[in-house]
A and B are shown apart, each in its own frame.
Chain A
Amino acid sequence: MKDFNYHSAKDSKEASKLASSSSAFLAGGMTTIPSMKLGLATYKDLIDIKNIKKLSGIKVSGKSVTIGAATKHVEVSNSKDVKKAIPSLSSLAEGIGDPQVRNRGTIGGSIANNDPSADYPSACIALNATIHTNERKIEAAKFFKGMFETALKKGELIEAIEFQIPEKSSYQKHPNPASRYAIVGVYVAKHKGDVNVAVTGAKSCVYNDKEMSKALSGNFSSSSIDGMDLDSSEMNSDMHASADFRASLVVTQAKKAVDAC
């Protein structure tokens, strides 16, 4: 690991001011630190945002659950409020990584990193989330741009994620047996009016599967998507799963999610 400057910001404003083209925000550090250790990333400045009180915590209103960006996975999975309002979100958090990761990793870090096989981005899409930054509000559908790419500008800091409470929802993951990241993860949420089927792990970026969403909006039953033959041409293919296998898993996990709703 190369030398770097460590800063601990007291508020978002200071954090934003310290940011430069060779800096990174540090929350849980579950991706940043290993990347630096392996020499895959180098930064001149690391700006620690864990000590900004405003960025941690969970608030539930009648319609939404708002989670501060620096809130740890373990806090989301243990929150009685989250469990009551959106149980699938709590169980998603419980299935991330291992206890060490859940005790340090944060929701904001996961979303800002936008790993193609991370769990949280699918929750954002399925639950029509709004990403609150220090500058603006961004709809989840416009936030995730591509592999490890988001709508965030340099120095822009996620402050909170606001999830819409659905009528029913479930997240089903087929984990990579080694890393336990999603080979395919499908988050199904039934809102008043329409259904979202958010898929992570299958392609270079999380997406809402229009075909399945439409079918389920018409008839919210796993039979309405059973046997659906998805186009696998844009799906990831690696030593753990081919594109065809992923395409099949997307349907299987979606069915499981619907059945679990």
Chain B
Amino acid sequence: MSSKIPMRRKKTTFLTNLRNQKYLLLMLMPGVIWYLLFKYLPLLGLSLGFTDYGFRAKVSFVGLDNFKRLLTSTIFWNAFRNTLIISLANIIFYFPTPLIVALLINELKSVKTKRFIQFLIYIPYFFSWVVVGSIFVNLLSPSTGLVNSVITKFGGKPIYFMASVKHFRPVLITSYIWRQMGYGAVIYVASLTTVQPELYEAATIDGAGHWGRLWHVTLPAIRSTIVTMLLLNLSHVLLIFEQVLVMYNAAVYGVADVLQTYVFREGVLSGDLGYSIAVGMFTSVISLTLVLSTNKFSSRFLEEPIL
């Protein structure tokens, strides 16, 4: 008996809560339905990766056939290799850039100049990939582009950057940095303003020079921002898609085709849905593993899990 009473009380409070919060819950509804439809229902759709869904009216379970197929597909391995190369280049060349630029902006004395630079370099982040891609096409055009006119002025031959197997990946990375760098730099600058000035004073008294202060005060103080940015970067580095979709062309498929564009062509354009879901799942799982292991690493060594 005694155990039943609290249970009943709990139930009534739950019901009264429900009644009291009816407006709040109603407001929540459209959003919750949206999440279920477009974020959680697709999760169930992953199971289609184990079927031959796409070509026939009747869907049948094929087990791991799609995965066996992708492991023997040369186009898949090419896309996989390209994704890894582009991602690695991205981490090496893109990741440190916003931090370095932010540290340099932070050294400026004039607040107005600081603001102006941030204002300026943050603009491209709001341009679509189509616009950014177009800006680069314009800049790199063999006939009217600025870069090639400089090259020819110095006696070189115009380079067809967008169609060149050798130059396409550097163009991808450069345009990625151009669009995304300001976003990272603005975040770092904001986090640099939270470093306590007393720490610098104390370090100076202890005899730390400029590099010493940078190494022992500034970087440790913003390390959680750095790790967060790294995680954010890792979480979509393998999922690179729209940029490549916009900028690549038949001449550079060999070096530019990444996993997501491969999925897009196989799935949306060829209609091979089951197989393309399997490829996508492969990508998502690797990407998730990368993020979770970095998070684990960060919680062990920096004592700061981000997720």
Q: Do A and B bind each other?
A: no
* B interface with A by C-beta (< 8 Å): none
